[in-house]
Amino acid sequence: MSSPSHLPVLLDRVVALLAPALDHEGAVLVDATLGLGGHSEAVLQRCELARVVGIDRDPAALELAGRRLAAYGDRFTAVHAVYDEIPDVLAGLGLTAVDGVFFDLGVSSMQLDVRERGFAYSVDAPLDMRMDDTTGPTAADVLNTYSAAELTRVLRDYGEEKFARKIAGAVVRQRETEPFTTSARLVELLYAEIPAPARRTGGHPAKRTFQALRMEVNDELAVLRRAIPAAIDSVAVGGRVVVESYQSLEDRLVKQAFTAVTRSLVPEDLPFVPEGHEPALRLVTRGAEKADADEIATNPRAASVRLRAVERLRPTRSTSGKGAA
C-alpha cells in the first residue's frame, strides 16, 4: 500500500486564529476533520492549556493520527464520527460547549496520497472515494447505477462541469458493455468527451468529475450544511469556528452561514442597535483569507484554500456552558 504524506495548509494562521479562544484552563478544541493530525498537533504544542477532540469518519486517519498524538495523553481524544455529528460527540464526552471548532474541508492529504483509495485521477486505482471505506456506496457504484439525468446533476452541481450531460451520456453507454471499476478508464472517457480547447484550460480535465463523484459518495455538502450551524451552536462565549474550504461550493455555504450569524436583524435605518439585539457572533477574518505565493510553492494544495473564522460574542440558550469537561 502507498504511504500518505502530510503538509497542513495555513498552519500558523489557523493556530493564531484559534489560540485566543484556547488560552485558559480546560479549553477544548474540536478538530472536526482530524486527518493525519497536523493542525491538532500544532494546537497541542502551542496552546498548552487546551485539549483536542479529533473527529474523523476515516478509520485509517484516526489510527495514524492517534499514533502521532499519543504523546499528549489525555489531552487528545479521537472519535470515529462524521463532522455533522458534533452535538452527539460532545454529549458523549459530557461537554456542554467547547472553545473552538476547526474544519479542514475536502479530501485529505492521506486520502489523495494512498493510491488504493481511488481519490486521485493521476494514477489508476479502484473507483472507491469513500472517506469511511467501511460503509456506503463507492464512486464505481454511482457511475454504474445512476441514470444519465442523475449523473448529469452530480457532475453539474458538485463539479460545476460544463460538459456534464455529454459525460453522463458516455458513461451510461460505456457501462452497458463493461462496468466502471478503475480510475484510468474514467479518465480516458473524460479526455474523449471534453473538447480539446476546454481540456487546455482550468486544470486537469478529470478534476471536476472526480470532485463531483467524491462529494456525492460522501454526501459532503449536505453534511457541511448541517455541520457549520452545529459548530456555531457548540462554541461558548469567546469561542471560535475556523474553516478552510478548497472549492467554491463549500466556501459559499460557509460564507452564507457566517454572514447569517454575524448580521444584525434590526432595520438598517435605525441609528443604533438596541441592547440585546447585537449579533451573537462577529467575523474574525475580513472576507476569505488565502495562502501566499511562498506557501503555494511549497504546498500546491494550498492554492485553492479559503479561510474564514467567526467568534461568539454573547451566549444563546445552547451555548451557556463552558468547554471544560
Contact 194, 167 (CB under 8 A): yes
Nearest to 76 by CA among 92, 65, 87, 85: 65
Binding residue per annotation — 203?
no
Known binder of ligand: residue 26?
no
Q: Which three cell numbers stand for residue 307?
A: 479561510
Nearest to 102 by CA among 167, 182, 166, 44: 44
Residue in 126, 154, 108, 76 with CA at minimum distance from that of residue 6: 108
Q: Is 104 annotated to bind ligand? A: yes
Q: Under a CB-based contact definition with an 8 Å cutoff, are residues 98 and 232 in contact?
A: no
Cell readout for 291 is: 495562502
Quote the distance between the C-alpha of residue 148 and its chain's center.
28
Give dist(CA 107, CA 61) in Å, integer. Answer: 12
Q: Is there a binding annotation on residue 56? A: yes
Residue 74 marked ligand-binding: no
292 is in an annotated binding site: no
- Is position 174 annotated in a ligand binding site? no
Q: DSSP alpha helices (H): ranges in the chain?
A: 11-18, 38-46, 59-68, 86-92, 109-113, 139-145, 148-159, 164-175, 183-193, 196-199, 207-217, 220-234, 248-262, 293-298
Q: How far apart are the first and last CA of the chain?
A: 39
| Residue whose C-alpha is closest to residue 102's, from 152, 156, 41 | 41
Binding site for S-adenosyl-L-methionine: what residues are annotated?
37-39, 56, 83, 104, 111
Binding site: what residues are annotated?
37-39, 56, 83, 104, 111
